[in-house]
Amino acid sequence: MNQLHKYHKTLELDKILNRLAELTCCEEAAALALGLEPETSLGRVRTELEKTDGAFILSSRYGTPSFAKLHNPEIDLKRCESGASLNNRELLNIAAIYRQCRLLLEWRERCENVATMLDEYFDNLAENRYLENKINAAIISEEEIDDNASVELSNIRRKIRQNSTKARDSLDRIIKNNAKYLQDSIITMRDGRYVVPVKAEHRGEVPGLVHDTSASGATLFVEPMSVVEANNEIRVLMSKEQDEIERILAELSAECADFAESIRNNFRLIILLNLYFAKANLGASMRAVKPFVTDDGYISLKKARHPLIDKDKVVPIDIELGRGFTSLIITGPNTGGKTVSLKTLGLLTLMTMCGLLIPVADQSRISIFDKVLVDIGDEQSIEQSLSTFSAHMTNIISILEEADDRSLVLVDELGSGTDPVEGAALAISIIEEISARGSRLAATTHYAELKAYALETKGVENACCEFDVATLQPTYRLLIGVPGRSNAFAISRRLGLEEHILDRAEGYISSDNRRFEDVVDSLEQARQDYEKERAELEEKNREYERLNAQLNAKRKGLENAGEHEIERAREKAKYIVDKVRAESDALLNELEELRKQKEKTDVAELARRARSQMNGKISRLYDEANPVRERMGTNETYKLPRPLRKGDEVLVYDLDKQAVVLEEPDKSGNVMVQMGIMKTRVKLKNLRLIEQKNPYKEKPKSSTTRTIKSNAERSAKSEIDLRGYTVEEALLDLDQFIDNCVLSNINQISIIHGKGTGVLRTAVQAHLKRHRSIKTYRLGTYGEGESGVTIAELK
């Protein structure tokens, strides 16, 4: 076995590839899966990962395309290219390849416009519906050709059926007339010919040819002379049938030879696509992702999980190596997860180099290497009659022969199996040698000397597998930067070992080692306190983010509600202003008409002033139509003529509302006022004093009253006919009619709208209902026009 393959097997890459092979559709795809080798080219690794990730994206969005179990057509294609004919099964396999090609292309069309690096494979697939349909139309199964495969075959089989019917009819008559001579009243076949079973003692009673005898000799299978000719014809036709079938198969085989290269290419592409979708499905089963890949030797795995451990039981670990330190020394108690951490690091590196997704969290980073060199376990020592230490050192020597700056070295229990002092010294020397060669190293150990060495040496870092002394259980978490403890005394104390034995044992530990362990204890306690505080902070941060999200949602809801109300107010105000403008225009137009008729200066002046006043009011109404306006944003600088006193009438400027001062301004410049039933505090700068004028000091202005008798008053009628009008035209004329009637002091009007469909009546009554000049309205009674007329009473 190749040395590198041995290391790969130690890290159990073969088990991952076996799981991948089980997800493929056929032997060829499985062989590709089992034959995957870790790539050492960064470009190739990234390309393979992109293809696998493309398959993962397509599968997660649209489901994995189905793949049929196909057979490699290479040998069959070579035979048909040389002129040989293929059998039913071989031709059906070629049709299955074209069918698979067609289904893949149809599936890809349903995937919208999601571009992936697998598109080059899909684009090169070439379907051939002509050959696929021709094979499927001719061949029903591996044993049967369809009757309609050719006209000649259809005719031959029709004749075979006719002669078979003729022979069976003849045999039925013989059975009916000679039943007493027959062993059974049945028709059977021997050598492709119809026969009847005749009792041996009555052989002469049924003339014909004997084709077979039963094992006991009591029954003879006789072909009666009356069916010999029919059977002969059937045999001749069956020979022709076989010749025609061979001709059809030869013709189909020749067509397959014409498309041999296309078939080969399609099969190759189908197998490759199947492999990438198998990789994607394997990644999905592991909850795996695509890591960021480099070749700079830096590894940073977040929440990495060993893929061969149950995903619901495995404890995720964080591993870092290659930035700030090139060697990682992992310590801790036995069964604490040290070896699993090494295998996880090595296996995930190899999986990435094979183009597989790996079970880590997002933002994980991994480096590829030319060699992954491993010494884990001593299973080979028994076969080679070596001690554990000898086997261990043999592996280390092999690793040192190959290690360079493009190598990842993983060593379990470095320097173990011999005297602890010598083993520790040897381990330190090996670490220095591997570091000098530029390799990345991760090693596990129990030696305290290696913990101290890692603390003191640049480029070497401690790590430990956490152990909960309270429960005597490992947590399997890997802690970078923290040296581990064996916890032997703590475990023994929890298990009940007498205290005086433990005290005596602790006395045998050197003072340096005791001080070192004390430092490790204090570091561990500080780390646990930090972890607890960090967890509390993270919980508080999550609660803050939750509350902040709720507040933002409420704020957005209020803003949306406010905008909705503002829009409603604006629309209502616009409707009121438009209505007032329409009414004022009608009135001013009438005044203008009066001026033209009377040609009096005073009337013209009255119309001009009325128009001016009305336009001013309309403009103010338009201003009020926008309820959200900046009244305080002008450059106007208003100064109160005197300090405000209790009881003063003021104008709240931004609201344009009058109010009464209840309290004098406070130190903050706020004034308590009452607007209607509402009491509130308002900024002093937002108030305008309303000065009370003495009514006795002002002389009333003289006024002149003119009575204008309008044209409307002279010619108004109390009835309007709206039949034939559109709704818009009718309502416009109705408004003018009502205004004329009001000016003419008419109390009741009749509106003729007709019966018809009722649309105009409904519109008229709805308009009357909201018209300010209408007091009541009703439908006409008998003699008034009934439902074709509406009678309205004016205010």
- Numbered residues of the known binding site for ATP: 332-339
Q: Quote the CA–CA distance of 125 and 122 in Å, as a whole number.
A: 5
Concatenate the DSSP letters of all residues of 681-734 into one string. Answer: EEEGGGEEE-PPP-TTTSPPPP--------HHHHH--SEEE-TT--HHHHHHHH
Q: Quote the CA–CA distance of 5 and 7 in Å, as a whole number.
A: 5
Confirm if 40 and 368 have CB atoms less than 8 A apart.
yes
Q: What contacts 687, CB < 8 A, 6 or more positions away?
A: 640, 644, 650, 651, 652, 653, 659, 671, 673
Q: Which of 89, 70, 113, 551 is nearest to 269 (CA)?
A: 70
Would you call 414 helix, strand, or coil by DSSP?
coil
Question: Cα–chain-centroid distance for residue 220?
Answer: 75
According to DSSP, the β-strands at 371-375 and 407-411 are parallel
**What one-letter code names the amino acid at 218?**
A
**How many CB atoms are located within 10 Å of the residue 370 CB?**
16
Q: Quote the CA–CA distance of 450 and 441 in Å, as a whole number.
A: 14
Q: Which of 411, 277, 280, 272 is nearest to 345 (CA)?
A: 411
Secondary structure string (H, E, C) spanning 112-167 = CCCCCCCHHHHHHCCCCHHHHHHHHHHECCCCCECHHHCHHHHHHHHHHHHHHHHH
Q: Quote the CA–CA distance of 644 and 647 in Å, as a whole number.
A: 9
Confirm if 333 and 494 have CB atoms less than 8 A apart.
no
Q: Quote the CA–CA distance of 658 and 83 in Å, as a whole number.
A: 109
Confirm if 755 and 780 have CB atoms less than 8 A apart.
no
Q: Which of 450, 453, 482, 452 is nearest to 465 (CA)?
A: 482
Confirm if 101 and 126 have CB atoms less than 8 A apart.
yes
Binding-site residue positions? 332-339
Q: Quote the CA–CA distance of 367 and 416 in Å, as a whole number.
A: 29
